[in-house]
Amino acid sequence: MKRLLIIIAAMQLIALGVNAQDNVLAPLFDKYADDEAFTKVSITSKMFSLFTEFEPEDPETQELTEAISKLKGLKILASDSIDNARSYFKDATAQVRKGNMEELMSIRDGKDDMLFMIKEDAGKISDLVMLVGGDNKFVAMSLYGEIDLKQISKISKGMKIDGMKYLENIDKDGDDQE
């Protein structure tokens, strides 16, 4: 019986590890990992946990700390000086749409296109993807873990993640507030 419980626990840990790495943009990040035309950022759950080790002094900081503690990772691939950036955007968009993701919003801001997609399971957002494409600019960002959109827009202000400001107008049900 004890051996069976150990096997079941091990299988659950393996499943959690596979699920945490099941990122719809992983092939894109892998494809351009060594391409010097791109800036690559990868923040792990360990880095997020370091942010939560300090004692917040006010309720707003406490709220942000709790939101950060539920994040498992952030990956960004970006370039503002590549030819054919729109084709990168189209390819990434097609890849994301093949995944089990739902469009949250799309925006055309001047010559830039933005797309926000989410993966939601049992009412909880587990993955947020932002894609940006312009004449020479391409950005792919994937944030995963347990995601609260209201808190993510606040976090992104501090991290200066361009484009995330659009999430400020989303209510907790994922609908635009106007």
pLDDT digits (tens, 9 = 90+) for 121-133: 887 889 999 999 9
- Specify burial of residue 99 (Cβ count, 10 A radius: 0-12, 13-18, 19+): middle
Per-residue pLDDT, 158: 55
Task: Report the length, in residues, of the chain.
Answer: 178
Residue 165 has a pLDDT of 56
Q: What is the mean pLDDT of residues 19-31?
A: 74
Which DSSP letter does residue 177 get?
A: P
Residue 90 has pLDDT above 90, yes or no: yes
Give the residue, 84 or 175, on which the prediction is more confident: 84
Q: Is the model's pLDDT at 137 over the cut of 90?
A: yes
pLDDT higher than threshold 50 for residue 178: no
CA angle (61, 63, 69) in 5-degree steps: 100
Please compute the mean of the pLDDT values over residues 96-107 and round it to a whole number: 89
Residue 96 pLDDT greater than 50, yes or no: yes
Poorest-confidence range of 42-46, 62-66, 139-143?
62-66
More confident residue, 32 or 60: 32
Contact predicate 39/76, CB 8 Å: yes
Nearest to 131 by CA among 49, 174, 70, 76: 76
Residue 167 has pLDDT above 60, yes or no: no
> DSSP string covering 79-119, please?
ESS-TTHHHHHHHHHHHHHHSS-EEEEEEEETTEEEEEEEE
CB atoms within 10 A of CB 12: 10
**pLDDT at residue 111 above 70?**
yes
Between CA 68 and CA 56 the distance in angstroms is: 13
Residue type, 16: L
